[in-house]
Amino acid sequence: MESVYASPALNRLLSDCADAVAAVRAGRSLTEVLAGVPLASRPGVQSLAFHVMRWMGGAEAVRARLAPRTPPPRVESLLITAIALLWPEADAPYPDHTLVDQAVTAARERTPAAAAFVNAVLRRFLRERTALVAAAQQDPVAAWNHPAWWVERLRRDWPAQWQDHLRVANSHPPMTLRVNARRQTVADYVRLLERQGQRAWPLPAPELGGQALQLARPCPVQRLPGFAEGWVSVQDAAAQRAAPLLLSGGAGGRPLPPGARVLDACAAPGGKTAHLLEAAELDVTALDSDPHRLARVQETLSRLGLSARLQVADARQTARWWDGQPFDAILLDAPCSASGIVRRHPDVRWLRRPQDISTLARTQEELLNALWPLLKPGGRLVYATCSVFLAEGQQRIDAFLQRPQTAGAHLDAASPGHLPPLADNPPTSSASPQGGSGDGFYYALIHRPP
């Protein structure tokens, strides 16, 4: 699991983690919750909370068996936190006795009257752990640590791979970097890391654009040489496919010329915008409907020494922001379920609801319909989602290409299609190399007829 800081005291971290777990169960994003945790505690609380999110289905099921009457929220969230951290398959970060002792100490501070109850429940769990876990895992939610609807959708979409999808969602993702080609070469940066005792290796696949490398072990960005100076950014390997695909034109197009007019339609937090500008001289408009998220795009570009035209707007409402000049290329990294990046955001599985997928699919369709007319004749559009659900990828583009407004458009043969986050599974297009350890993504490159 992610490294846990020795200070503050474990009981304080457990208490803050329990509050974060309660917030996620109430529908709040873990990222938002962690932003409010004191800075000294945040790394440790995040580490513990990520661990709990990955095992929460089982922990909730066991809690229900050990305490059939639901305890008050502050007690329940602490029990779920402790049980998840004591889960036998979960590489527990602390010895059992330490975890129980510190959880009881946290209970005394949070809800003093419940401390004895917490102690009794956790000690019974340790005594009967094997039987309790086996019984709980008869329920798919406890067995796979995902909501039942999520498990069923993966089973339908990926009948031969659904179990692998669920297993990998509970693994730790690699830390992949994108070296700023305007500042460093990948080879030079690997040597810089090695001089600091950090092992890394280039990811030379041309689909990634030649700027990618992977660290042997994740580390805080502050430990990356030249991070503040814009030498490098953190970006998953699958996400690094977007810019090269748009720039190259795939198998059916030509590279974008210098000065090409490009729209990044849902730009925040700015990684793909920056990748485009690092790789080519472009006239880029970066659009996002959230001003706070768009501010992150500006922060990213400023750190890297890059510039783009930033606009706060809903991309679907073109009359409010478009100047009437068509674009040579459009990158639409559409809002989606984030089901492909659940390793990095393990709370997503618990926050999403089944109806969200159809709602997001409608938004994706509206964005495609609104942006397609903004392309020049002969222009290109890359549609991307960080989702493994077919409704947000292949099915969305199949439906779009059947609409009268896209007559004559064609899907480029170099489109990767669905990229499962599985090392032993190929993507859905033969034009892409065999799988990898990147996040789950979908990509389609569509050409508008001349």
Which helix or strand (DSSP H or E) is residue 156 part of?
helix 148-157
Strands 176-179 and 212-215: antiparallel
Q: What is the C-alpha separation between 22 and 207, in angstroms, rounded?
A: 41
Cα angle value 43/44/46 (rounded, 5°): 65
386 as an active site residue: the answer is yes
327 forms beta bridges with 375
Please pick, among 17, 266, 336, 386, the residue that the annotation labels catalytic.
Answer: 386
283 forms beta bridges with 261
Which helix or strand (DSSP H or E) is residue 99 part of?
helix 96-110
Q: Read off φ and ψ for residue 285, nearest 5 degrees.
A: -105, 120
SS3 state of residue 49: helix
Q: What is the DSSP letter of 429?
A: S
- Exposure string for 425-446, b = 16+ CB within 10 A, e = fewer: bebbbebbeeebbbbbbbbbbb
SS3 state of residue 51: helix
Contacts of 222 (CB under 8 A, 6+ apart): none
Contact between 138 and 145 (Cβ < 8 Å): no
Q: What is the C-alpha separation between 301 and 307, in angstroms, rounded?
A: 6
Contact between 346 and 398 (Cβ < 8 Å): no
Q: What is the C-alpha separation between 21 and 106, in angstroms, rounded?
A: 15
Closest C-alpha among 437, 398, 404, 399 to residue 417: 398
Fill in the amino acid letter for 358: S
Rg of the chain's alpha carbons, rounded to an integer?
23
Closest C-alpha among 142, 140, 172 to residue 153: 140
Q: Given phi > 0 = left and psi -120 to 50 = alpha, else beta, which region is 257?
A: beta
Integer angstrom CA distances of residue 76 from 21, 63, 114, 268, 340: 10, 8, 10, 36, 29
SS3 state of residue 262: strand
Closest C-alpha among 335, 339, 367 to residue 352: 339
Q: What is the C-alpha separation between 345 and 264, in angstroms, rounded?
A: 23
Catalytic residues: 386
